Chains A and B, each alone.
Chain A
């Protein structure tokens, strides 16, 4: 069974640009969550999607948005990039409420 797949693995963007990251969950997993990981802030919750609906949202500005498609694949978008957005963005999926999350390898975003 394939794991959680995130693309691209690495990304370099210029301040002010926008970026879209993609996540394909494990087959059959309908819940997808996104986290931002930075050395000083640990794992910060961005949002969670289930059956194409955003179920929860963390404390991030409106520049961070996401969506989920009917095949459970998810994308997150960051507009008007700032230097502080440089981080590892992790996607995680789970089979159901009684299961833990499986994480993807992440997309490392560098904003210059």
Chain B
């Protein structure tokens, strides 16, 4: 099955700086890549997703890039704010089936 690796496991940035989280996947057939944000004590929530026919997608301060050849995708958060502090999970799946998650990145934004 699909194997997703996520780096770094922890990330600390100053408010206003950018944060980048990277993931790699193993199955070249994977074609759907969502990112989830999980605040402390809450459920994971979908924040952005990208499909394999697109190289980049943006939504306000967040963006995701995908490199199918290298089998890696990244989450970019610009102008970080304290409320961005959470655990972020990347995931990969084939046609949105059997979704496998990365181990998570704990992002801390220091005011």
Contacts and interface: CB of A to CB of B under 8 A. Distances in A.
A106 B45 CA distance: 13
A56 B98 contact: yes
| Interface of B (DSSP majority class) | strand
Given A103-B43, A106-B43, A97 B97 contact: yes
Interface string B29-47: 0000010100000111110
Contacts of B89: 42-43
A99 B43 contact: no
Tell which of B43, B49, B89, B102 has the most Cβ of chain A within 10 Å: B43
Contacts of A68: none
Interface residues on A, range: 20 to 34
B101 A43 contact: yes
Interface of B: 1, 34, 36, 42-46, 49, 89, 95-104
Interface of A: 33, 35, 41-45, 48, 55-56, 58-59, 90, 94, 96-106
